[in-house]
Amino acid sequence: MGKGSQSLLRHTYRSCRRNDRRTFSSSPRTSTVQITTLPNKIRIATESTPCHFSSLGFIHFLDRMAFKSTSSRTDTEMTTAIHSLGGQIITVLNPSFLPEELEAQRDAAFYEVREISSKPDMVLPEVLHNVAYNQKGLGNSLLCPEERINVLDSETLKSSMREWYRPERMVIAGAGMQHELLVELADKHFSSLTPSPTLSPQSQPIVAKQPVSPRLLSPASPSVGKSLTRAASYLFPNSLTDSPSYLNPTSTYTGGYRYIRDTSTEFDHLYIAFEGVGIHDDDIFALATMQVLLGGGGSFSAGNVLTVYTHILNHFPQVDHCASFHHIYTDSSLFGLFASFVPASSGLRGGNTPGQILPHLVNQLSLLLYTQLPEVELSRAKNQLKSSLMMALESKAIEVEDMGRQILVHNRQVPVTEMTAKIDQVQSADIRRVAARLFGPQSGNKATVICMGHEELGSWEDVFKKYSVAGV
C-alpha cells in the first residue's frame, strides 16, 4: 500500500481549557476520515459516518490495569465512571499501580498462562515464530513470561510506560463524532505528554534480544480482514535489569524444525510455514488471496469450501482441523498450513503419523506452484476476502480500532474500496509468481516445521524435495 499524502493543512481550534489559540497539523481529508496531529505528535483521527453511538479507543494499552486506581480516582470510582458511559474504553494515563491491585492481577496472570499453555492452538503459533526467527522470535510475547510475573512491580510498569507510551506512538481514533471536539478534548487531556527526543541512529541504544521461551504465548491469529492492517509491536523489558531500547533489534528469518513431545494430547499437531511479505509489499493482497484460496476449517464445520477443505478434510476424517494461516507484520510475515489429526499411536482406526500427514500439506503448496488455477476458484477466493473485509467493518468498535491501527502502520486510513480494488487486480499469474517467490525451489527460502504430539516427524526435508518445494 502506498503512503498517504505528505502535504499538511494548518487548522486552528479554540481549546476548551485555554484562552489562547493553538495550531495543529491536519492531513487533507479523504473520504469521511479526518486526521489532526497535535504539537506533541499525538494523532487524532475521526470517521464522520453517522451511527447510534460514538466509539473511541487507544491502540497501546495496559490491559490488566486499565480500570484500576489512578492519581485522581480509586479503582471503584474508575469502574463506576467507565460503566456510566456505556461504552468500551481501554486507556490508562495516570496509573497508581497499587501493590494490592498488582497482586490480584498476578494471580489472574498465572491462571491465564497455565490455561493457555494447555491449548496447543495458542502455544504453537508462538513456538512457530520462535523457531522461524532464529530461535528469538519476532518482537516480544504479548503475555508476561511466567517467571517474570512475581518480579513486576509498580516502578517497572511506570518506567516501561514512560519509555514506550509516548505521544508519537499514540493514536486517538473516534467514529461518529465531531472531529474538532475530539481534537479539543485530546489537547486538553493529553497535551502534557512529551514526545521522545529525536536521536540519530548512532546514538540509539540497542538491547540484545533474549531467546523467546515456548511458554511465552500470544493470542490466536487474527482474521484475514484484520490481519491486513495489523503490525506487531509487543514491547516489554527484555530482562530484569535491561531498560527498554528505542529500537527492537532486527529479527532474522532462518526457518528450522522443532519437535515437542506430548503424549497427553488428543491430537498430534503439525505446522509448516515460510516467510512471506510485509504489510507494505505490493504482493500483500496476492498473498492474502492465496491464504483464502487454500482455506480450511474443522472436520465438523462447513469450513472454507476451497483447496484444503476439498483436498484434505473431505477425504481424511482422521484430520480434525486443517487450515492455512498468515501472520502479517510491517516488514515480514509467516505464511503456511497446519493440521491437527488423530495420532497413529492412539490405537484408533485411521490414526496417522506426522510423516503421513506432511505430504498432504506440502502438496497443497506444490499445486499453487505447478498447476493452473481455475478462474472460478480464484474469483471465489477474492470475493470471500472482500466480503470478510467489508463485514468486519460493520461494527463501529472494530472500525475505530482498525482505523487506529492503519494510521500507526500507514500514517493514513486505507479505504476499503482501495483494498477491494487491489484484490480485484490479483490474477492467476500473480498467485503462481508469489508462490514461487515464497516457497519455490529457486526462492532461497527455508521452511519452518513444528511437530507436537506422540512421535517425531522423521525425514521431513525429503518430502519438500519430492514436491519441489523449498525446504532447507
Summarised one tens digit per residue, pLDDT across range 179-205 is 999 999 889 888 888 887 764 444 443
Task: Please tell me the predicted confidence (pLDDT) of residue 251.
Answer: 79
Count the Cβ atoms, other than its own, within 10 Å of residue 341: 27
Q: What is the mean pLDDT of the chain?
A: 75
Question: Average of pLDDT values for 234-251?
Answer: 39
- The cell for 292 is 483464502
pTM: 0.75
Amino acid identity of 263? T
For residue 380, report the phi and psi dihedrals to the nearest 5 degrees. -65, -40
pLDDT at 78: 63
Number of Cβ within 10 Å of residue 86's Cβ equals 8
pLDDT computed for residue 101 by the predictor: 82
Alpha-carbon distance 203 to 374, whole Å?
54
Over range 447-459, report the average pLDDT: 94
Task: Write down the number of H helices and E strands in the chain.
Answer: 14, 12
**Predicted confidence (pLDDT) at residue 281 exceeds the cutoff of 50:** yes
DSSP per residue, 330-376: SS-EEEEEEEEE-BGGG--TT-B-HHHHHHHHHHHHHHHHHSPPPHH
Task: Give whole-number Cα distances, 135 to 87, 182, 254, 450, in Å.
Answer: 41, 44, 9, 13
- Is the Cβ–Cβ distance between 71 and 94 less than 8 Å? yes
Report residue 84's pLDDT band, with 50, 70 and 90 as the boundaries: low
| Phi and psi torsions of 47, nearest 5° | -120, 120
Q: Give the pLDDT band of residue 103 (cuts 50, 70, 90).
A: confident
Of the ranges 85-99, 261-275, 424-438, which one carries the lowest mean pLDDT score? 85-99
Best CA proximity match to 358, nearest among 247, 254, 436, 456: 456
Average pLDDT over residues 73-95: 61
DSSP string, 203-226: GS-B-PPPPPPTT---PPPPPHHH
- What would the grid cell of residue 5 be? 499524502
Q: What is the pLDDT of residues 310-334, one digit of tens each?
A: 778 777 888 888 899 999 988 899 9
Tens of pLDDT, residue by residue over 344-358, are 886 666 788 999 999
> Mean of the pLDDT values across residues 428-432?
96
402-415 average pLDDT score: 88
In angstroms, the CA 368 to CA 439 distance is: 10
